[in-house]
């Protein structure tokens, strides 16, 4: 299968990806964001049962370029999204 090209912006919607794709996807996406000078990213994972949100937040805890993260406020997706702050100096 060919890699999917997605625009590098301050929002990524995980609805179109399979759960097994998420770890590498987020890692690569965050790296690409920092290369473009984007340090605040909203990750949309949906509400559902919360499985994907928990998986995403577990991955964020382990990612060395993630400075911090929190549940999005209601006007930015509420608990269906997570706001991520990336470290500005990754060297």
pLDDT attached to residue 1: 54
For position 7, what pLDDT does the model report?
85
Its pTM stands at 0.90
Residue 3's pLDDT is 63
Q: What is the pLDDT of residue 21?
A: 93
> What's the pLDDT score for residue 48?
84
Domains of the chain and any CATH numbers: 11-86 (3.30.1370.110)
List of the chain residues with pLDDT < 70: 1-4, 90-91
DSSP class per residue in 2-67: PPPP----SEEEGGGS-GGGHHHHHHHHHHHHHHTT--EEEEE---TTSHHHHHHHHHHHH-TTEE
Q: Give the pairing type, strands 11-13 and 40-44.
A: parallel
């Amino acid at each position: 299968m060919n890699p999917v090209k997605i625009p590098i912006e301050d929002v990524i919607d995980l609805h179109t990806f399979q759960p097994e794709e998420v770890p590498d996807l987020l890692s690569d996406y965050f790296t690409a964001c920092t290369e473009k000078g984007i340090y605040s990213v909203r990750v949309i994972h949906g509400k559902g049962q919360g499985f994907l949100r928990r998986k995403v937040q577990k991955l964020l805890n382990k990612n060395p370029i993630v400075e911090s993260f929190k549940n999005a406020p209601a006007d930015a997706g509420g608990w269906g999204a997570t706001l991520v702050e990336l470290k500005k100096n990754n060297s």
